[in-house]
Amino acid sequence: MAGTPSGTGAAAVRMTGAVKVFGAVRAVDGVDLEIARGETVALLGRNGAGKSTAISLLLGLDEPDEGTVRLFGAAPEHAVRAGRVGAMLQDGRPVPRVTVGELVGFVARTYPSPMPAGEALALAGIAELAGRRFDRLSGGQAQRVRFAVALVGNPALIVLDEPTAALDVEARYAFWDSMRSYARHGHTVLFSTHYLEEADANADRIVVVDHGRIVADGTGEQLRRAAGGSLVAFDLAGTAFDLAGAGTDGLSLLPGVVSLEVRGERARLRTDDPDATVIALAERGAIRGLEVAPASLDDAFLALTATASDAAPATASGAASDPVARLAPLETV
């Protein structure tokens, strides 16, 4: 494993062939993941995809059944004890009869080089809650207190598991402003989310997980291109591809088309060359109700996870070593 025990020059996060099994379920299935210092990375996946289990392995809350996990070149428990890691997890019970300020101040004292508790509260946007009891806060307020707790140790790596799940829209925007401010100081951030737009707007990289495996790793733009750069839609009625006529099989053979979907009397083509696709359609007179739009991150996510669901299981050694290469629809991860 690269890196020294002190972590000098080591990646912030490195998982190599990590596997975690619960009964018949491989919650984490041969994951290779590296995050450089100072990167902000989003972990994206459906419920049960393996995100929370992967985070548990990173934090040393669980040990892998196979493979290794290292934070700054050391075992997770060493990095945590050294105060280099802060975490905001989904589960957490309210602490009775303790104010927000007392809670954040207590956590600060467990770290070697914390930021002032008041600074953490301000950064989390909850300075006015310092005197309130934590067990009497709303769900959204409590979530922001957990963010302050994760920040107050001034850790080099902060791990956020579904950090905006209980927040309204305004609070979500405020949260990400705070997170970006923290990341700008050179800290490493790893967060999981169900909100694709959050991943796209706030992460340097997006890692898509499905069935415990990494199925894509790259920027939002690279994910969109992997799904086919654009969507071309048109009405089938009265065209050469009318269902009552020649059928739609030929659509998949048009220039640039990588996938085809027919909904009623309307065809949707995913294409990596929309100009060539539209010209070919026009030559066949198929321009009724024509619509061309860039593929969204939602489209990319659905395409990538659908591919993963249909693919045969593969070992981690079959993974593409180039993150961009992973973005093509793959049979191995």
Diameter of the chain by CA atoms? Answer: 75
Domain boundaries defined on the chain: 13-222, 228-294
Locate tokens 């997770």: which residue?
76
What are the pLDDT digits (tens) for 155-192?
A: 999 999 999 987 888 889 889 999 998 999 899 999 99
d(CA 116, CA 196): 33
Q: Would you tell me how many other CB atoms lie within 10 Å of the CB of residue 307?
A: 19
Residue-level pLDDT at 310: 47
Alpha-carbon distance of 176 to 147, in angstroms, equals 11
Whole-angstrom distance, CA of residue 269 vs CA of residue 251 = 8
For residues 55 and 27, is the Cβ–Cβ distance under 8 A? no
Average pLDDT over residues 245-260: 79
The neighbour count for residue 326, using CB atoms within 10 Å, is 22
DSSP state of 239: S
The whole model's pTM is what? Answer: 0.76
User: Among residues of the chain, what percentage have pLDDT more than 70?
Assistant: 86
Is residue 139 predicted with pLDDT exceeding 60? Answer: yes
| Spatial separation of the C-alpha atoms in residues 228 and 271, rounded to whole Å | 5
What is the enclosing helix (H) or strand (E) of 143?
A: helix 139-152
Residues linked to residue 190 through DSSP beta bridges, in sequence order: 41, 159
Q: pLDDT digit string (tens) for 70-119?
A: 999 999 999 999 999 999 987 667 788 999 999 999 999 999 999 999 99
Query: In degrees rounded to 5, what are phi and psi of residue 49?
Result: -75, -20
Structure tokens at 244: 């009552």
CATH fold for the domain made of 228-294: Alpha-Beta Plaits (3.30.70)
Contact 87, 77 (CB under 8 A): no
For the domain made up of 13-222, the CATH class stated in words is alpha beta
| Mean pLDDT of the region 277-281 | 93
Identify the bridge partners of residue 193 per DSSP, sorted by sequence position: 44
Token pair for residue 283? 């030559």
